[in-house]
Amino acid sequence: MSNPTATDEDRARTCEAMLGSIQIYGNAGDLAMADRFYGSICDTYMRFSTESPLRDTLARSAVAMAHFHGRNGDLDEADEFIDDLRALCAENPDEESLGDLLADALSTQAIHHAQRDEFEKVNEIFCELQVLAGQFPTDVFVQEQFALTAYNLSVGLHAARAADEMYTLYCELLALSARVPLSAGIRSSLGKLMFNLSSLQLYERLEAAQELCVQSRTLAQSHPTEPDLRMQAALSASNLATRLSSLGRLQDALRFYEELVEWTERHPDDTHLREQRVRTARNILVTSDAGWDAETGWRLYRDAASAVATDPENASLREFVGESAHAIWIDAVMRDDVGKAELAYLQLAGLANQYPADASLRGYVDKIRLLRQSRPA
């Protein structure tokens, strides 16, 4: 880099090559060598700082170094590279490309802190991204990273049971999604945050949880090509149906269960939806206070059992069916419906024979067999 005859293009190409070396050594885990190349790029930029291509290469190198050190668990080291990005942004406050890079580095750093349960740090980054989002209100990428960090912050607020603070985040993302309606990334973060908030409200403000569940479903139905929204809405509906059945509100629980049935019929290839549908049927059946009648219970069991035929390699579905059959068998015996109890047992035993390596299914068959043997003749 000390060649006095080097042109601007020469320096730009050389720095790009060093950025490539940073990627190679960083991915290989040799951060010391990556650091050396980064230092060389910094030296070149300090000597020829008026050249914008060098500035952009330095910024991208800083993001790469922050990611590598963050991935390695060296978050303080990562912060030093993010400081370099902050300085570049301060020198060039109108450059959206630099804002994008800073937002990328900050949101990734927030994820690392969230994985360590360091949510005070996440909150600091959220506040910084909030300012950055205001600085670049039309930059979709910056807004998406802000939304993603809001979701990561909500994880900590959920653990602290800070429902009011979570609701404030929810309102902010709801408004942001309305302002940037074409961003699937913002909607994804909104959907996940809504699920976090509704799962917290299940035990504190049940009616609010129901309203959030309805809104989550509406969001997912408005964007049918975004399966992650369906996943969050299905989880919310499943958890709400489970909670309502535990409170003895069976009809309300079945209403949300029927929504899952309708969804799986509309999206027959969505494995996650099918799994949540069967999980919910199982949860209602094994809830002792649900108060389901024999007809409803048998319908839920048959619904769960039929799902296995559509996804025979899904071990979770088979386990749900085993639990459901166990619950139905006990209920049928208590109602003195020996025929239905025996039918549930034989069907479960047949399913276990189809999957001899499935220890969970075999376990439920053995449980029922012991109960059958203990009954008086």
Q: Which residues 6+ apart lie within 8 Å of 225 measured at CB?
A: none
Is residue 49 predicted with pLDDT exceeding 70? no
Is residue 376 predicted with pLDDT exceeding 70? no
Q: For 145-188, how does the pLDDT look when each residue is reduced to its tens digit (9 = 90+)?
A: 999 999 999 999 999 999 999 999 999 999 999 999 999 999 99
Q: What percent of the chain has pLDDT over 90?
A: 72
Listed residue (219, 220, 195) closest to 209, CA to CA = 195
Is residue 377 predicted with pLDDT exceeding 60? no
The pLDDT of residue 289: 62
Is residue 267 predicted with pLDDT exceeding 70? yes
Q: For 303-313, how does the pLDDT look when each residue is reduced to its tens digit (9 = 90+)?
A: 888 888 888 88
Contact by Cβ (8 Å): 87, 44: no
Listed residue (139, 229, 225, 223) closest to 193, CA to CA = 229
Contact by Cβ (8 Å): 281, 304: yes
Listed residue (182, 171, 89) closest to 131, CA to CA = 89
The pLDDT of residue 124: 97
CA-to-CA distance for 358 and 354, rounded, in angstroms?
A: 9
What value does the mean pLDDT take over residues 259-272? 90
Using 50, 70 and 90 to split pLDDT, how confident is the model at 104?
Answer: very high
Contact by Cβ (8 Å): 229, 219: yes
Q: For 203-255, how does the pLDDT look when each residue is reduced to its tens digit (9 = 90+)?
A: 889 999 999 999 999 999 999 999 999 999 999 999 999 999 999 899 999 99
CA-to-CA distance for 58 and 15, rounded, in angstroms?
A: 8
Q: What is the CA radius of gyration of the chain?
A: 28
Using 50, 70 and 90 to split pLDDT, how confident is the model at 1?
Answer: very low
The pLDDT of residue 93: 92
Total Cβ atoms within 10 A of residue 362: 17
**Max Cα–Cα distance, the chain, nearest Å:** 102
Is residue 291 predicted with pLDDT exceeding 80? no
Listed residue (168, 160, 243) closest to 209, CA to CA = 243
Total Cβ atoms within 10 A of residue 79: 16
Q: For 317-334, how does the pLDDT look when each residue is reduced to its tens digit (9 = 90+)?
A: 899 989 999 999 988 888
Residue with tokens 């607020």: 157
Total Cβ atoms within 10 A of residue 370: 9
Is residue 290 predicted with pLDDT exceeding 60? no
Listed residue (72, 60, 63, 73) closest to 28, CA to CA = 72
Listed residue (147, 148, 166) closest to 157, CA to CA = 166
